[in-house]
Homo-oligomer: A and B are copies of this chain.
Amino acid sequence: MSPELIDRLREAGYKITPPRLAVLEVIQREGEHLNPNEILAQAQAIHPQTGRATVYRTLELLTNLGIVRPIYVGDSGPTYIRAEGGHHHLVCSQCGRILDFEQCVADSMERELEARFGFRIKSHLLEFYGLCADCCGEETTGAS
């Protein structure tokens, strides 16, 4: 586990415990789009006694420290990602398909927003909603 992240915890006054190390390890390793249950399962692979409550508590802690953040995409519940950088999705509101794209104009807004609102921006989420190519065709197709 990255000593850098461990120091972030320690310097904020938190204890370095096996469950916290396990959750950090899971996030660090997998990184993207794990939900709390999956994080729990993988953390238990590392430290079997890890409890559900502790995973939720740790995720809240890491969120407050700006190390991870929850993301809600599609219908499923929250998933956690590292709190740095951007995420960009095209979401079909009919079939739920999700496409990722990379190039993004949001970065150009960050400086101005930081100045205007006094925020220190760490990441962003840009999602476009609509109908994918497949669902465009069926657009007028009827009920079940």
Interface residues of A (CB under 8 A from B): 11-14, 63-66, 69-70, 72, 75, 78, 83, 90, 92-94, 99, 101, 104-106, 108-110, 113, 116-133, 136, 140-143
Contacts and interface: CB of A to CB of B under 8 A. Distances in A.
A interface majority secondary structure: mixed
Contacts of A105: 105-106, 108-109
Central interface residue in A13, A117, A142, by most chain B CB within 10 Å: A117
B93 A69 contact: yes
B123 A128 contact: yes
Given A109-B105, A143-B14, A129 B83 contact: yes
A126 B119 CA distance: 15
